[in-house]
Amino acid sequence: MPEKYYITTPIYYPSANFHIGHCYTTIIADAIARYKRMTGYDVFFQTGTDEHGEKIEKKAKEAGVSPKEYVDKIIEDAKDLWASLGISYDYFIRTTDKNHEVAVQKIFKKLYEQGDIYKGSYEGLYCVPCESFWTESQAVDGKCPDCGREVKMVSEEAYFFKLSKYQDQLIKFYDEHPDFILPLSRKNEMLNNFIKPGLEDLCVSRTSFKWGIPVDFDPNHVVYVWIDALTNYITSLGYPDVNNELFKKYWPADLHLVGKEIVRFHTIIWPCMLMALDLPLPHQVFGHGWLKIDGGKISKSLGNYKDPREYIKAYGVDAVRYYALREVPFGNDGNFSEEALISRTNADLANTLGNLVNRTISMAHKYFDGVTSNPKINEEIDNNLISKVTSLKEIVETKMNELKVNEAIDEIMDVLRLCNKYIDETTPWTLAKDETKKNRLATVLYNLLESIRICAILLSPFIPDTSNNILLELNTKKTDYASIEFGSLEENLQLNEPKILFNRIEIKN
Ligand code: MSP
């Protein structure tokens, strides 16, 4: 039986249509999911939407529609966006799904009955756009520490989850699972800024708005954000039915991929909730950085962004995917700009990859009518290329296991650059002038085609359409991961005509 791999994105707020920042997380999750599938795992890749709360209630009111009508439209658009980006999710959860709502009510009740949730009253600073409560000391100059906007003082009857009860158990869990939070800097931030100063119990219900899952035994209250949102990762698998096949197979999650601003919820609140439910904890939470525009946050309210589909239309889906995956070292913040997207596409996809494939297949047609052979007239110069290609699979595996996605891609690009260099050094056009060098020429082209085939397979999780197009041009049956062994490309193969994979994009001034 293949090993399972359960990977999730955060569930996004459908308060407005999604922007390139949401695409960033989702593309990375998709690439990891595709990579794991390719390498033989039984993958469950989940994304979805977090649909309740005061902000959505307000937005819907402003738009003159019901909250459900409001979110339905955005979800339809989100699914269209994910389709246009080739996002291969296995399940799309909506927190308005009936089974999720019922499950959340059951979870809430269970925690209440066992004494992990109690009734009290809440007084605190609340940031409406972020749907976050802050204490006086957390607020910065009376403003939200996350978004910098005004917070308001609120006081209301509320239910609380006993986060404080699990503090020691949580610290012990961190100690025993050093890789639970990545990158490491984020783990230290959690420990020093939140856990060590002492965990405060968490407000888990609200009475001041209605757009939420009602607490069934106290219907004045709706379940407030985190119990509703975080539990999506288990309700989708059938929880609280622990005998559900999906739950038995996929829980605990292997990787929760989240933006850095919600690491706190995933590495403190979520583990404590799971401990209270007596469930195993996820293996890993990776907190990635933000994509910024002009150094600032991509903001729905500032409206400083375009619909990501405009970039897809202009440059192709793989250019957008590649940029998201390659440009920013995974974990760090990075800047998004259309100019950088264009330069990246031109340099790596049009020049390094596209030209190489085009030149090589064209030469194979010109000199051998597009038919492959490997007479193995090898020379010293081939060794470096062959050994680099041979070790590539393992190098990519190591990088992907460390979630260094941009570095994994760059390793493949390095090999493609080496192929271009190999052409410049072996000069096939010179070999073609000498009839006695025919077998050497065939060998050189075989080495190149074989390197391209292997790189195309390894690139498939990242730029699936392009990878597929290259393998179609090669017309090879050796397209799966197991066939990555130098020398597997068939001889006497009739290659297809080369097509332009990426046109160079002119930068408009
Ligand atoms: N609904 C909560 C998450 C609940 S998970 C149980 C939420 N939603 S959100 O819509 O605000 O967006 C969450 C995620 O979107 C971020 O954590 C991040 O992964 C992604 N991003 C949103 N803007 C982004 C950037 N500008 N850059 C990178 N990622 C961004 O928080």
Q: What pLDDT, in 10s, does the model give residues 14-27?
A: 999 999 999 999 99
Give residue 302 CA to ligand 1 midpoint distance, Å: 16
Report the SS3 class of residue 395. helix
Q: From CA 334, how far away is CA 326, in angstroms rounded?
A: 11
pLDDT computed for residue 459 by the predictor: 98
Complete domains list, the chain, with CATH: 338-483 (1.10.730.10)
Closest to 349 in 3D by CA, of 329, 311, 383, 321: 321
* Residue ranges of E strands in 15-151: 42-49, 91-94, 117-127, 132-134
Q: What pLDDT, in 10s, does the model give residues 340-387?
A: 999 999 999 999 999 999 999 999 999 999 999 999 999 999 999 999
Counting from 1 in the atom list of ligand 1, the atom nearest the Cα of 232 is 6
**Terminal Cα-to-Cα distance of the chain (whole angstroms):** 55
Counting from 1 in the atom list of ligand 1, the atom nearest the Cα of 257 is 19
pLDDT computed for residue 225 by the predictor: 83
Q: Which two tokens stand for residue 391?
A: 């070790």
Q: What pLDDT, in 10s, does the model give residues 448-473?
A: 999 999 999 999 999 999 999 999 99
Q: From CA 148, how far away is CA 139, in angstroms rounded?
A: 9
Residue for token pair 């802050």: 134
Closest to 91 in 3D by CA, of 319, 262, 247: 247
Q: From CA 169, how far away is CA 175, in angstroms rounded?
A: 10
| pLDDT-derived band at 128, boundaries 50, 70, 90 | confident
Q: Which two tokens stand for residue 185?
A: 């800097």
Q: From CA 139, how far away is CA 231, in angstroms rounded?
A: 27
Q: Is 202 in the pocket of ligand 1 (CB under 6 A)?
A: no
Q: Is 298 in the pocket of ligand 1 (CB under 6 A)?
A: yes
Q: Is 308 in the pocket of ligand 1 (CB under 6 A)?
A: no
Q: Is 5 in the pocket of ligand 1 (CB under 6 A)?
A: no
Q: Which residues pair with 293 in a beta bridge?
A: 296
Q: Is 130 in the pocket of ligand 1 (CB under 6 A)?
A: no
Counting from 1 in the atom list of ligand 1, the atom nearest the Cα of 297 is 26
Give residue 97 CA to ligand 1 midpoint distance, Å: 20
Q: Whose CA is nearest to atom 29 of ligand 1?
A: 21
Query: Amino acid identity of 155?
Result: S
Query: Amino acid identity of 275?
Result: M
pLDDT computed for residue 228 by the predictor: 97
Query: Amino acid identity of 329?
Result: P
Sign of the torsion formed by the C-alpha atoms of 348, 349, 352 and 353: positive
| pLDDT-derived band at 509, boundaries 50, 70, 90 | low
Q: From CA 489, how far away is CA 67, in angstroms rounded?
A: 56
Q: From CA 213, how far away is CA 96, in angstroms rounded?
A: 8
Q: Whose CA is nearest to atom 8 of ligand 1?
A: 12
Q: Is 11 in the pocket of ligand 1 (CB under 6 A)?
A: yes
pLDDT computed for residue 122 by the predictor: 81
Q: What pLDDT, in 10s, does the model give residues 85-121?
A: 999 999 999 999 999 999 999 999 999 999 999 999 8
Best probe residue, ligand 1, of 9, 13, 94, 262 (max atoms within 8 Å of C-beta): 262
Closest to 340 in 3D by CA, of 326, 330, 353: 326
Q: From CA 95, how far away is CA 235, in angstroms rounded?
A: 10
Q: Is 269 in the pocket of ligand 1 (CB under 6 A)?
A: no
Q: Whose CA is nearest to atom 20 of ligand 1?
A: 22
Counting from 1 in the atom list of ligand 1, the atom nearest the Cα of 292 is 26
| pLDDT above 90: percentage of residues in the chain | 83
Q: Which two tokens stand for residue 283?
A: 């293996």
With beta carbons less than 8 A apart as the criterion, state whether 272 and 170 touch.
Answer: yes
Residue 508 reports pLDDT greater than 90:
no
Q: What pLDDT, in 10s, does the model give residues 30-64?
A: 999 999 999 999 999 999 999 999 899 999 999 99
Q: Whose CA is nearest to atom 7 of ligand 1?
A: 12
Pairing relationship of beta strands 285-288 and 222-223 according to DSSP bridges: unpaired
Q: Whose CA is nearest to atom 16 of ligand 1?
A: 259
| Torsion of Cα atoms, 358 then 360 then 364 then 365, to 10° | 10
Q: Is 10 in the pocket of ligand 1 (CB under 6 A)?
A: yes
Q: From CA 450, how far away is CA 457, in angstroms rounded?
A: 11
Q: Is 229 in the pocket of ligand 1 (CB under 6 A)?
A: yes
Q: Which two tokens stand for residue 26?
A: 């989702």
Q: Whose CA is nearest to atom 9 of ligand 1?
A: 12
Query: From the CB of residue 457, how many other CB atoms can be counted at a distance below 10 Å?
Result: 23
What's the mean per-residue pLDDT of the chain?
94
**Structure letter (DSSP) for residue 293:** E
pLDDT computed for residue 300 by the predictor: 66
Half-sphere exposure in the Cβ direction for 305 (13 Å, CA): 24
Instruction: Classify residue 323 as exposed, middle or buried by CB count within 10 Å of its CB (0-12, 13-18, 19+).
Output: buried
Q: Whose CA is nearest to atom 17 of ligand 1?
A: 259
With beta carbons less than 8 A apart as the criterion, state whether 203 and 224 touch.
Answer: yes
Q: Is 285 in the pocket of ligand 1 (CB under 6 A)?
A: no
Average pLDDT over residues 142-150: 88
| pLDDT above 70: percentage of residues in the chain | 99
Q: How far is CA 312 from CA 307, 336, 427, in A?
A: 9, 15, 36
Q: How far is CA 162 from CA 117, 146, 276, in A?
A: 6, 24, 9
Q: Which two tokens stand for residue 3?
A: 């090993």
Average pLDDT over residues 433-444: 97
Q: Whose CA is nearest to atom 5 of ligand 1?
A: 10
φ, ψ for residue 296 (rounded to 5)?
-115, 175
Q: What pLDDT, in 10s, does the model give residues 223-245?
A: 998 899 999 999 999 999 999 99
With beta carbons less than 8 A apart as the criterion, state whether 30 and 15 touch.
Answer: no
Q: Is 230 in the pocket of ligand 1 (CB under 6 A)?
A: yes
Give residue 114 CA to ligand 1 midpoint distance, Å: 32
Q: Which two tokens stand for residue 472?
A: 């179609």
Q: Is 56 in the pocket of ligand 1 (CB under 6 A)?
A: no
pLDDT computed for residue 52 by the predictor: 97
Counting from 1 in the atom list of ligand 1, the atom nearest the Cα of 291 is 27
Q: Is 23 in the pocket of ligand 1 (CB under 6 A)?
A: no
Give residue 261 CA to ligand 1 midpoint distance, Å: 8
User: How long a stretch of residues is the chain?
Assistant: 509
Q: Which two tokens stand for residue 195?
A: 């856990």
Residue for token pair 């009740």: 109
Q: Whose CA is nearest to atom 19 of ligand 1?
A: 259
Best probe residue, ligand 1, of 18, 24, 323 (max atoms within 8 Å of C-beta): 24
With beta carbons less than 8 A apart as the criterion, state whether 292 and 57 touch.
Answer: no
Average pLDDT over residues 298-323: 89
pLDDT computed for residue 299 by the predictor: 76
pTM of the model: 0.94
Average pLDDT over residues 302-325: 92
Q: Is 160 in the pocket of ligand 1 (CB under 6 A)?
A: no
**Structure letter (DSSP) for residue 504:** P
Give residue 8 CA to ligand 1 midpoint distance, Å: 12
Q: Which residues contact 272 (CB under 8 A, 6 or more apart)?
A: 161, 163, 165, 166, 169, 170, 199
pLDDT computed for residue 134 by the predictor: 82
Q: From CA 239, how far away is CA 107, in angstroms rounded?
A: 9
Check residues 207 and 136 and name the one with the higher pLDDT: 207
Counting from 1 in the atom list of ligand 1, the atom nearest the Cα of 262 is 17
Residue 132 reports pLDDT greater than 80:
no
Q: From CA 139, how far away is CA 321, in angstroms rounded?
A: 36
Give residue 137 CA to ligand 1 midpoint distance, Å: 24
